[in-house]
């Protein structure tokens, strides 16, 4: 008789209700990077298809992290322009498999975890790359990733006080500053010029949709500032990638592919590149002096999705949350 197979389905609200505190999420991501640096993670470069909707994609991202016994895959889509149709422009699901049997055990809403792990990757990088006790943060883009970046970086750096917020729309940055004012002791200031969210900042995080021309210029990049383009290739001009003293990413091949698709003339210098997992694990030092301009680019590796996903799934299971869907 064939055994019955059931999976637990978890929605966004259930995930958020049992998720670890932000400090623990950063610790999980850092631990995952250390496993990768030790050769205990199998994470193929993401593959994708690009349907005929302009600039759209669907990415498949499997991972196995031996040190965490975490096995699974994320399937994520991006359809820019969906918001004009009252639809989300990005969706994702995460599928978890039991490491001992290979059987699927969970199907989870993926965007909550994507926001949390992406910004935790940024925080883990900034912890090792920023000069001590940073006080000034620039945000270019104030959607979901901008919101989560402020929360996550403030968890790692309680010293952050001045936050400058630039965005494509005046009303979006005004609303962002109003909404986030009660979450921390920050001086939140919307700025009309992107330059004002870049100059003299300790850390700058960009998270914008692809623009006709990159709005952030290398000429505004102050010595010592860590730049974190969560949008990978959307925000910064070519000169910024070439000017960086070091470029840190979690997948140089994925970074190079992204550059080839959107900027065929740009070659991200491999001689300046360091692996983010090696930086987090302490195997290499990225900063040689306080004036270094460092660019850290989490391209999105599935290892951090599945380790965080497994931690949340275990907590949900213990809390009796989720709907069981029988597959056989």
pLDDT digits (tens, 9 = 90+) for 100-113: 999 999 999 999 99
Higher per-residue pLDDT: 286 or 134: 134
- pLDDT averaged over every residue in the chain: 95
234 falls in which pLDDT band (50, 70, 90)? very high
User: Residue ranges per domain, the chain?
Assistant: 7-113+303-323, 130-300
Distance CA 16, CA 7 (A): 19
Distance CA 132, CA 10 (A): 39
Question: By mean pLDDT, which of 78-87, 160-169, 197-206, 276-285 is the weakest?
Answer: 78-87
Give me the pLDDT at residue 308, please: 98
Strand partners, 143: none
Cβ(67)–Cβ(42) under 8 Å?
no
Distance CA 193, CA 265 (A): 27
Strand partners, 65: 41, 70
Domain formed by 130-300, architecture? 3-Layer(aba) Sandwich (3.40)
CATH of the structural domain 7-113+303-323, one choice from 3.50.50.60, 3.30.1780.10, 3.40.50.970, 3.30.1490.480: 3.30.1780.10
Distance CA 43, CA 250 (A): 10
Cβ(199)–Cβ(222) under 8 Å?
yes
Average pLDDT, stretch 162-170? 97
Distance CA 73, CA 103 (A): 13
Distance CA 131, CA 137 (A): 12
Distance CA 54, CA 284 (A): 40
Q: Hey, which bits of 123-259 come out as E strands? A: 136-140, 162-166, 187-190, 203-206, 226-229, 246-249
Does residue 239 surpass a pLDDT of 60?
yes
Higher per-residue pLDDT: 212 or 225: 225
1 falls in which pLDDT band (50, 70, 90)? low
For residue range 245-291, what is the model confidence (pLDDT) as tens digits?
A: 999 999 999 999 889 988 888 988 899 999 999 999 999 998 999 99
Strand partners, 187: 162
Give me the pLDDT at residue 268, please: 87
Does residue 210 surpass a pLDDT of 60?
yes
For residue range 69-79, what is the model confidence (pLDDT) as tens digits?
A: 999 999 999 99
Distance CA 2, CA 90 (A): 37
Average pLDDT, stretch 21-49? 96
Question: By mean pLDDT, which of 70-84, 117-131, 139-153, 235-249 is the weakest?
Answer: 70-84
Give me the pLDDT at residue 156, please: 97
Cβ(201)–Cβ(222) under 8 Å?
yes
């Amino acid at each position: 008789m064939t055994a019955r197979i059931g999976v637990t389905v978890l929605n966004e609200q259930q995930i958020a209700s049992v998720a670890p505190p932000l400090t623990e999420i950063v610790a999980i991501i850092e631990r995952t990077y250390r496993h990768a640096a030790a050769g205990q993670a199998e994470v193929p470069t993401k593959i994708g298809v690009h349907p005929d909707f302009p600039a759209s994609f669907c990415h498949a991202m499997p991972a196995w992290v031996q040190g965490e016994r975490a096995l699974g895959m994320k399937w994520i889509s991006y359809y820019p322009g969906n918001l004009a149709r009252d639809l989300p422009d990005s969706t994702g699901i995460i599928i978890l498999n039991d490491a001992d049997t290979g059987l699927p055990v969970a199907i989870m809403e993926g965007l909550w975890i994507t926001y949390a792990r992406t910004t935790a990757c940024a925080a883990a990088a900034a912890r090792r790359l920023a000069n001590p006790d940073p006080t000034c943060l620039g945000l270019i883009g104030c959607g979901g990733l901008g919101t989560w970046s402020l929360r996550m970086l403030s968890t790692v750096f309680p010293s952050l006080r001045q936050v400058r917020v630039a965005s494509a729309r005046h009303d979006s940055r005004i609303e962002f500053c109003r909404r986030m004012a009660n979450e921390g002791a920050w001086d939140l200031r919307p700025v009309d010029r992107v330059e004002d969210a870049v100059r003299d900042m300790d850390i700058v995080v960009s998270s914008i949709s692809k623009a006709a021309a990159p709005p952030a210029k290398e000429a505004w990049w102050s010595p010592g500032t860590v730049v974190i383009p969560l949008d990978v290739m959307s925000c910064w001009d070519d000169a910024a990638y070439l000017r960086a003293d070091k470029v840190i990413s979690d997948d140089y091949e994925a970074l190079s592919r992204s550059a080839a698709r959107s900027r065929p003339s740009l070659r991200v210098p491999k001689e300046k590149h360091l692996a983010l997992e090696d930086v987090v694990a302490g195997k290499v030092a990225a900063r040689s002096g306080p004036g270094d301009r460092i660019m850290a680019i989490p391209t999105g590796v599935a290892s951090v999705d599945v380790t965080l996903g497994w931690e949340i799934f275990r907590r949900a299971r213990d809390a009796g949350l989720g709907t069981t869907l029988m597959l056989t």
